[in-house]
Each structure stands twice: as structure tokens, then as C-alpha cells.
Chains A and B, each alone.
Chain A
Amino acid sequence: MLDKVLFYFFAAIAVGSAALMVTRRNVVHGAIFLITALLATAGIFLQLRAEFLFIVQIILYVGGIMVLFVFVIMLVNLDVALQQIQFARQKWVALLVALALAGQVGLMFWSSGKMAGQGLPVLTAAAASTLPPNSEEVAKSLFSSYLLPFEIASVLLLVAMIGAVVMAKKRT
């Protein structure tokens, strides 16, 4: 019962603030609603007993990326930005993409109803005390089964970092 209430609480906040985020004209308000949406998603992770994902979501997205977002927003001259066209005008492309996405999601729901036991997995909630410690499990799978993707991602990040340094360096 508590789980259900928590889920709908966080989900409502996430969806609501995501909608507000794209409709606000003021960029800083948009950023605040994005932060709220990310925090609510973190809450859903916690409700699912994925405490490591919860804190990584908060540290990386909210505490790291969003701080940089807000930082950049403040460096931009907002008064000038407000006078420019704020929304992209590619209505028809957007509609097409949205329809394709909706069709995909609908297909998934429809097919999961057809194939019993193979579609959407419905898990029964386990007691929190019986679950294995989350961060340890993530570390184990990251450094054993998924070692190669992990290394590739690390190299990609390193390349991006070096690229940023090279581009930011003053040309003398």
C-alpha cells in the first residue's frame, strides 16, 4: 500500500514537473522544474529499492549536470534570449516522431498482453531485508559481466574530456 502511494506520488510529481519544464517561458524556472523531475525520478528508484541508482541520479544529474546547466543559463543574457524565437518550428517532424514513439510503446503493451509470462515482467515486491546490497551488486556486475562496455564508456568519456580541454585551450 505504502509502495503504491509513494510510486504515484513521485510519478505525479515527475510527469507534472516535466510538463511544466517544457511549457515555462523563463529558462531558470524550466531548470527548476527539470531538477524537480529528476529528483522525483530518484524517488521512484528509491521506492524500487535501488538505493544506489537513487543516489547516483542525485549526485550526477542533480548535483553535477544541473549545476552546470544553471551556471550556463546565468552566463547567457536572458533578456536577449527572450526576444528570440524560443521554440523550434518543426511541428510536423515532431508530430511524426511522437507518433512513432507512441506506437512503439503501445505495441509493447499490446504484445505483452498476448504473450503471457513473456512480456512486461510483473515482479512481486521482495522485503527490503532480503535483497542483496545494491551498490555491491552494481559493482560486481559492472566489473565482471559488463567490463567491456564499462571500459568503452570510460574511454569515450576520456576522449570527450581531452577534446574539451583542447578546444578550450587558447590558441597562441
Chain B
Amino acid sequence: MNAFVQATIEFLKLYWAPLLCGVAVVAILPLIAGYIVLVERKLMADMQARLGPMRVGPHGLLQPIADAVKLLIKEDIIPDNADKMVFWLAPVLSVGAALLSLAGLAIGPAFQIAQDINIGILFVVGISALGIFGIVLGGWASNSHYSLMGALRSSAQLVSYETAAGMALVSALLFTGTLNIKSIVEVQSKEGIWFAMLAPVAFFTYLVASIAETNRAPFDLPEAESELVAGYMTEFSGFRWSLYFLAEYTNMIVVASVATTLFLGGWLRPFASVRWLNFLDFVPTLMIVAVAAYCVVRTPKQPTRVQQMFMLAVAGLCFVVGLALLAPVVLPIAKPFYAGIHGGFWFIFKVSLYIYFFMWLRFTIPRYRFDQLMRLGWHFLIPLSIINVLLIGIALIAGSYFNLHGWGLLLVTTPAAIITLVAALMILAAEKQRDAGHDPNAASDFYAG
């Protein structure tokens, strides 16, 4: 036993800081996920000309906390014939995998829980893919047809789209030559160009595949309420259900972060290497102060005194954050914190934009049918991404032959992207021709409800 204690002390001595950060992230993340849900509801309301949650706190700002309390005190039901152990384990698996994969992400150059792991991006992608077991086992353990159907759909969908997403990652990694997350962003900073511009087709493929992997609309067939009640989470209630929810939103953050790191320049400011655009450093402060000003303007319209105070408190908080973002730009003493603070801001900003795009799609595009989803994955995205990897490889060889760097690389990657697009159009035309023979609606649908 003594040896074990000794080993524990040794471990804690080495890793107390990452452990502390990990605990902090796990503690804060449910709150962030809750607020993402609030933003989603507000956005949905806005797009449907409604107000959305307005009752709890000003503009519904405390709604996530009320929701969390409601979920915690709800009755926890386990179906009679369910496999109790697996039923208990499944949501934990889902949420555990999602939270673990966050450890590899670098939010700005200063903040990364698992510092500089060599396999960086593979770690994040591989661990987050384990969350599928939570969904599949949960669907199986509930002993219900709807749940099982959702689980089956989910695993088929993940296996299909994982390939396309992996190929898209490969095309971006061809530019970096490393898997380390920090080095990936440093390469983009050195080249002065984001990989989304060099490999637009790969970015598009990853975007589509990441929506399918996180089970978001229009690809949310595992939980399609019009066909399967709630898919794999039909039998889950209360806290277990909220764990699934947390896993889904954490996965959204993870795929958005991976896309930001690989394609959107990570924590870099737009045009970070262009000297005369340095005034862009004031943009973060301006944005945050604008939010604060809006809160102040809206304060007199709040019905009760408590809500007015709350609104002013939010404005004050935003103001403090704005000052913190301004300090490294103007004060010479705070200069060392510039990279950390502004890097964090830009990273979170890009991740938010990506998630916003997810929500926007959800309220715009109707849900796919399952055979359409499978066809899109196998007949279109996978061939497209394979062709793209091949052409980007050729473009890079040409680039090194002509000794091209940074924006110059566009000279060889743009033709590659154009040829890929032509190939994509040809694939679509061939599909159409094949479908002309028979009715596409009579397609086989094994997993349709």
C-alpha cells in the first residue's frame, strides 16, 4: 500500500496544475452548455418571430439554471426490463468521452490542459468518437424498439461520416506535417494564411461530417422526434437524460474547436501577420463594450427593480472583460498577457461562430431521410474527400517544386479545389443518371422507423 501512496504523491506533484484545470473545466462546462442551449432557443425564437424564454431573469438569462434544477429534481425512471448496469453506464460513457477529449484542446497559446501532446488532434478526434458507445449501449439497454432503432442509426451514421471527416482532417494535416495542436496553429501563423482558404473543399467536407457526427439537424435522425419519439434517449429521464444532452453540446464544442484549430487559424487574429491591420486588436474590446452598452440601454425597459439591477450587473461584467481585453494592447506592463488573453478571445469567438452556423442550419434545412443521409455520406462526401486528399498532395508537391509559401500556395491549391469541385459535379450527374432508371423514393430504407 505504501508504494501506491508514494506513486500517488509522485503523480500529484507532477500533475497538480492540469488536474486542477480539468476539474475547473468539468465544473464550468455544464453551465456553458446550458447557456448554449439558451442562445439556441433565443435564436430559434428570433428566426420564428417569437421572443423565446423571457420569464426567468431579464431576457431569460437565468433560464439555464432553472432548467438544470428542474432536471436534477425530476424522477429518475429505469424501465423494468432494462439492463440496469448498462443503462446506468451508458450516459456516463457518452459524457466522459466528450469531456476527456476537451483535455487536448488549446484555447489560446497559454491554456491547454494536457500540455503539448504529440498526437494532439488525433487524441481529440479519437476520444470524442468513443461517445458513440454511450448512445449505442444506452439505446440497447433501454429495451425499447425506438431506442434500439435510434442507436442503430447513430452507429451507422457515425461510421459513415467518420471516414469523410478523417479524410478532411488528413488534407489539412498535409500542410502542417505535425499532429500537435499548438504546432498546427503556429504553422498557420508562420504561413500567414488559414487552411480553410488553402483547402476549402476539406473544410466543407468536415463541416458537413461534423454536423452528422454530433447528431445535429438536418442529420439528427438518431433522435428524430417525428419518427422515433426521441431515439436513443426515449427511455431516459431526469439527470441521465441531461447527461446525454451535456454530451451532445460538449461534442459540438469539440468539433467546433477542431475545425477552428485546423481550418480557421486557431487562436490567431484574422490577418495576424499583416502589420497595418494591427488596429484589429481593438475589435474584441469594441464588441464586448457594445454588448455592455446594449445592456445599459435596455435597463430602463425591464419591468422589475431586481431585473434592472441584474441587467446592470451583466453590463458591468462585460465592461470589466472589455477592459481586460484592452489592457494588453495599450499598457506596456500587460503586454506579456496579450497572446493568452486575445488568443482565448479569438478562439472562443470562432468556436461560437461555428456553433452559430450549426444552429442556423438547424432552423433552415428540413431533416434528411435515412437513406438520403447514407447516400450523401457514401456516394458523395467520401469520394469527394478522397479525391481532395489526392489533389492536395499533388498541389503540395507542385508547391514545393516552385518553392511557394503562404498566399503563394493558393496558386496551386485553387486549381486542386476547382478540379475537386468538377469531380463532385460529375459524381452528382452520374448519380442522377443512375436514379433516372428507377424511382428514388422506392430506395431501400432498412433503418427508417
Nearest CB of chain A from residue B317's CB, rounded to whole Å: 40
**Cα A62 to Cα B152 with chains together (Å):** 17
Cβ–Cβ contact B133 & A70, under 8 A: yes
Interface residues of B in 1-58 (CB under 8 A from A): 3-4, 6-7, 10-11
**Cα A67 to Cα B131 with chains together (Å):** 11
Question: Which residue of A1, A51, A59 is within 8 Å of B6 (Cβ)?
Answer: A1
Interface residues of B in 100-145 (CB under 8 A from A): 117-119, 122-123, 125-127, 129-130, 132-133, 136-137, 140
Cβ–Cβ contact B10 & A2, under 8 A: yes
**Residues of chain B with a CB closer than 8 A to A51's CB:** 117-119
**Residues of chain B with a CB closer than 8 A to A62's CB:** 130
Cβ–Cβ contact A67 & B4, under 8 A: no
**Residue B179 lies at the interface, judged by CB distance under 8 Å to chain A:** yes
**Residues of chain B with a CB closer than 8 A to A66's CB:** 133
**Residue A104 lies at the interface, judged by CB distance under 8 Å to chain B:** no
Q: A58-B126, A134-B118 are in contact. Are A74 and B7 (CB under 8 A)?
A: no
List the count of A-B residue pairs having beta carbons below 8 Å apart. Answer: 78
Q: A55-B123, A55-B126, A59-B126 are in contact. Are A28 and B137 (CB under 8 A)?
A: yes
Nearest CB of chain B from residue A8's CB, rounded to whole Å: 10
Cβ–Cβ contact A55 & B122, under 8 A: yes
Cβ–Cβ contact A71 & B126, under 8 A: no
**Residue A44 lies at the interface, judged by CB distance under 8 Å to chain B:** no
Interface of B is mostly: helix
Smallest Cβ-Cβ distance to B446: which chain A residue: A75
Stretch binding the partner chain, chosen from B155-163, B234-242, B324-332: B155-163
Interface of A is mostly: helix
Cβ–Cβ contact B122 & A1, under 8 A: no
**Residue A35 lies at the interface, judged by CB distance under 8 Å to chain B:** yes
**Residue B148 lies at the interface, judged by CB distance under 8 Å to chain A:** yes
Q: A1-B6, A67-B158 are in contact. Are A74 and B122 (CB under 8 A)?
A: no
A35, A66, A71, A133: residue with the most chain B Cβ atoms closer than 10 Å:
A71
**Residues of chain B with a CB closer than 8 A to A74's CB:** 136, 140, 148, 151-152
**Residue B86 lies at the interface, judged by CB distance under 8 Å to chain A:** yes
**Cα A115 to Cα B260 with chains together (Å):** 55
**Cα A28 to Cα B141 with chains together (Å):** 9
Mark each residue of chain A from 47 to 91: 1 if its CB lies under 8 Å from any CB of chain B, else 0: 000011011001100111011101100110000000000000000
Q: Can you list 13 pairs linking A and B with CB atoms under 8 Å apart?
A: A5-B4, A28-B137, A55-B122, A58-B126, A64-B162, A66-B133, A67-B155, A70-B136, A71-B156, A71-B159, A133-B118, A135-B119, A135-B179
Nearest CB of chain B from residue A62's CB, rounded to whole Å: 6
Nearest CB of chain A from residue B261's CB, rounded to whole Å: 16
**Residues of chain B with a CB closer than 8 A to A32's CB:** 86, 89, 137
Nearest CB of chain A from residue B377's CB, rounded to whole Å: 15
Cβ–Cβ contact B136 & A63, under 8 A: no
**Cα A26 to Cα B86 with chains together (Å):** 12
Question: Which residue of A28, A35, A52, A71 is within 8 Å of B155 (Cβ)?
Answer: A71
Smallest Cβ-Cβ distance to A57: which chain B residue: B126
**Cα A133 to Cα B118 with chains together (Å):** 7
**Cα A12 to Cα B295 with chains together (Å):** 57
Cβ–Cβ contact B119 & A58, under 8 A: no
Nearest CB of chain A from residue B308's CB, rounded to whole Å: 51
Pairs A-B, 3 closest by C-beta atoms = A59-B126, A5-B7, A63-B129
> Can you name 10 extra interface pairs (CB under 8 A) apart from A67-B155, A67-B159?
A28-B137, A28-B140, A55-B119, A58-B127, A59-B125, A62-B130, A63-B130, A67-B158, A74-B151, A134-B119
**Residues of chain B with a CB closer than 8 A to A59's CB:** 122, 125-126, 129
Nearest CB of chain A from residue B18's CB, rounded to whole Å: 15
Question: Which residue of A2, A28, A54, A70 is within 8 Å of B7 (Cβ)?
Answer: A2
Nearest CB of chain B from residue A66's CB, rounded to whole Å: 8
**Cα A74 to Cα B86 with chains together (Å):** 14
Interface residues of B in 331-357 (CB under 8 A from A): none
B4, B151, B156, B179: residue with the most chain A Cβ atoms closer than 10 Å:
B179
**Cα A19 to Cα B438 with chains together (Å):** 52
Cβ–Cβ contact A75 & B10, under 8 A: no
Cβ–Cβ contact B129 & A35, under 8 A: no
Interface residues of A in 1-21 (CB under 8 A from B): 1-2, 4-5
**Cα A54 to Cα B120 with chains together (Å):** 12
Mark each residue of chain A from 158 to 172: 1 if its CB lies under 8 Å from any CB of chain B, else 0: 000000000000000
Cβ–Cβ contact A63 & B152, under 8 A: no
Interface residues of B in 156-177 (CB under 8 A from A): 156, 158-159, 162
